[in-house]
Amino acid sequence: MTLPTNKLPAAVRAVLEGDSTLTTALTGGIWDADELPREGLPAVTTIWNGAALKPVMVLRWEGDQPRRELDKAGRRFLAVWVYQDTGRSTIETVLRRVRALLHQKYFNTNENSAAVGRWVGDLGEFTADELGGAQGDRARFEFTYAGR
């Protein structure tokens, strides 16, 4: 059985990439974790300005959790990782905007189903040693879906 979330990642990414506030702030781009090389974000040369990391977002989808009592229903989680070289102002602006775009918003996942996003919390600030000591944070969203 194909679950109705097969188009959810593309629908969410289209909303994020279509937002001028995000695209202006995230000069390193918006990446899906599946697009990154095996070496991860440090190997992506377009996100670096010399030794400084450009503000960048990485989307990492977790697997489906179907609901047994309902056919074609369940939930899926998305982790939104945001990094910048120093400081937190861009991270805070970006995460605030992502919450506005995804929290309690509906997304069509195919012609017979929809999903609603819900912000379930942030990780909190951290230092990403693998990115030369860049600052980072993560927001997590739950998408509950149902289909016919």
Q: What is the pLDDT of residues 100-136, one digit of tens each?
A: 999 999 887 766 678 889 999 888 888 888 888 889 9
- Classify domain 8-147 at the CATH topology level: STM4215-like (3.30.2000)
User: What is the mean predicted confidence (pLDDT) over 39-59?
Assistant: 79
- Read off the tokens for 108: 């069509």
Q: Residue 24: its pLDDT value, please?
A: 94
Cα 47 to Cα 78, 105, 107, 119, 124: the distances in Å are 22, 29, 29, 27, 22
pTM for the model:
0.86
Instruction: Please state, in angstroms and rounded to a whole number, the distance separating the CA atoms of residues 59 and 62.
Output: 10
User: What is the mean predicted confidence (pLDDT) over 82-109?
Assistant: 92
With beta carbons less than 8 A apart as the criterion, state whether 15 and 102 touch: yes
Q: Residue 52: its pLDDT value, please?
A: 81
Instruction: Please state, in angstroms and rounded to a whole number, the distance separating the CA atoms of residues 107 and 55.
Output: 26
- Read off the tokens for 77: 């989680």
Q: Which residue has the higher pLDDT, 36 or 92?
A: 92
User: What is the mean predicted confidence (pLDDT) over 72-87?
Assistant: 88
Q: Residue 146: its pLDDT value, please?
A: 75
User: What is the mean predicted confidence (pLDDT) over 74-93?
Assistant: 91
Continuous H helices in the chain: 8-17, 20-25, 89-102
User: What is the mean predicted confidence (pLDDT) over 39-56?
Assistant: 76
Q: How many CB atoms lie within 10 A of CB 4?
A: 23
Confidence of residue 62 (pLDDT cuts 50, 70, 90): confident
For the chain, first and last CA: distance in Å? 12
User: What is the mean predicted confidence (pLDDT) over 77-104?
Assistant: 94
Sign of the CA dihedral 98, 31, 138, 146? positive
Q: 15-31: per-residue pLDDT in tens?
A: 999 999 999 999 988 98
| Strands 56-61 and 30-32, sheet pairing | parallel
Residue 76 has pLDDT above 90, yes or no: no
